Amino acid sequence: MHVSLDTLKGDEIHPFIDDLARLRITVFRAFPYLYDGSADYEARYLATYARSPDSVFVLARDGDEIVGAATGMPMADETDDVRAPFKAAGLDPAEIFYFGESVLLEDYRGMGVGVAFFDEREGHARQLGRFVSTAFCAVQRPVDHPRRPGGYVPLDRFWEKRGYRPEPGLVTTFTWQDLDEDRESAKPMQFWTKRIDQRPR
């Protein structure tokens, strides 16, 4: 397998929204997200990135097939759910570049694509020249969650190697329907941050 990367900005993503929706639904079905997604919601969600002129999409391809993607945009263009914890902590969302997601089909993991996703998005944020830090959030699941697979290893160590740290108090909630739920419920999301001039260890 040979994976190539393409970096797109703003409304350049329009032709790929259906592919990205499919990827998110597929990858986020697994623990810890357990996401029971819909293509209609995904199309509306991803359109937010298309409307932001400084957004970035990094696409991973195997030939003509899109096998992974990572997204980002200025936090100022994000929803109140994302911005509110930073404002409450006295941090200016205008100085933060937010990473939305990083999704990659299982067969393509362990090949360095995840590292490249971070490098490309950080490079984009750095090139824009007005951000102090980058940030993303991750769902928090209890260690005794009944759907936690045996041998599951969280991505914390990978993120720490990239220079990110969880910020106490920077927590929000996102709402979606788990695979075993009959309605949506709120999920706690922990933010991780990194100064834009900090290099990975």
Is residue 170, in this structure, part of any structural domain at all? yes
Is residue 180, in this structure, part of any structural domain at all? yes
- Specify the pLDDT at position 199: 64
Query: Residue 127: which pLDDT band, with cuts at 50, 70 and 90?
Result: very high
pLDDT tens, position by position, 64-79: 999 999 999 999 999 9
Return mean pLDDT, the chain. 93
| Residues 76, 45, 93: CA angle, nearest 5 degrees | 10
pTM, to two decimals:
0.94
* Beta strands 133-139; 96-104: pairing state: parallel
pLDDT tens, position by position, 36-45: 988 888 888 8
Is residue 201, in this structure, part of any structural domain at all? no
Is residue 163, in this structure, part of any structural domain at all? yes
- 154-173: b or e for each residue (b if 16 or more CB lie within 10 Å)? eeeeebeebbbebbeebebe
Residue (of 137, 102, 105) closest to 119 by Cα position: 102
Is residue 29, in this structure, part of any structural domain at all? yes
Token digits of residue 128: 């824009």
Is residue 145, in this structure, part of any structural domain at all? yes
Domain membership of residue 40 as a residue range = 4-195
Q: Count the domains in the chain.
A: 1
Distance of CA 105 to CAs 26, 60, 153, 171, Å? 8, 10, 17, 27
Query: Residue 181: which pLDDT band, with cuts at 50, 70 and 90?
Result: very high
Q: CA-CA distance, 55 to 77, in Å (whole number)?
A: 9
- CATH number for the domain spanning 185: value is 3.40.630.30
- Specify the pLDDT at position 94: 97
Is residue 200, in this structure, part of any structural domain at all? no
Is residue 61, in this structure, part of any structural domain at all? yes
